[in-house]
Amino acid sequence: MCQKAIYPGSFDPVTYGHIDLIKRAQDIFPELTVAVAHNPQKKPLFSVKERVEMLKEATKDFRGVTVTDFDGLVIDYASRLKANVLIRGLRMISDFEYEFQMALTNRKLNPHIETIFLMPQESYSYLSSKLLKEAASLGADLSSFVPDFVKEALKKKLRDVS
């Protein structure tokens, strides 16, 4: 039986959709690591340190949840943590093909690590960090998509970047 799971991602920035999946995963696994990927190819708006800090704030009251960062293959990181489950979110059918491909590749690389797909609440199923960054850059109110501290961090970061 698995006691540890990892929910990896970019979390640039964390949204209510991510937080919803973390809550769902923590109800299933006694130990959950939310792992922020060092993925410079995605050209993140926030640094790894900033993303980790936002996730720590968002999950500070969650039991059994640890927030870390990792570089390299997530299955290698999972092995180091002795976790054998990866949590991945599926929002829309458009996510499925990519996530399925990634899960099968990870299984081929390490058959001892399973991928479990979780779906967020319907009200968050269309949220993406990319869409929210674009909306924020155009002045949209993000109150119903991200916690206030994330909304403020987005505003500040977008001011600093422009």
Neighbour-count burial of 115, counting CB atoms closer than 10 A to its CB (0-12 exposed, 13-18 middle, 19+ buried)? middle
Is the separation of the CB atoms in 70 and 36 below 8 Å?
yes
Active site residue 91: yes
Active site residue 107: no
Indicate the residue type of 52: V
Active site residue 23: no
Which listed residue (42, 49, 130, 156) is catalytic?
42
Which listed residue (10, 24, 129, 157) is catalytic?
129
Which listed residue (10, 18, 51, 157) is catalytic?
18
96 vs 149: CA distance, rounded Å: 30
Which listed residue (51, 88, 91, 133) is catalytic?
91
Mapped onto helix, strand or coil, the DSSP state of residue 37 is: strand
Element (H, E) at 34: strand 31-37
Active site residue 42: yes
Catalytically active residues are 18, 42, 91, 129
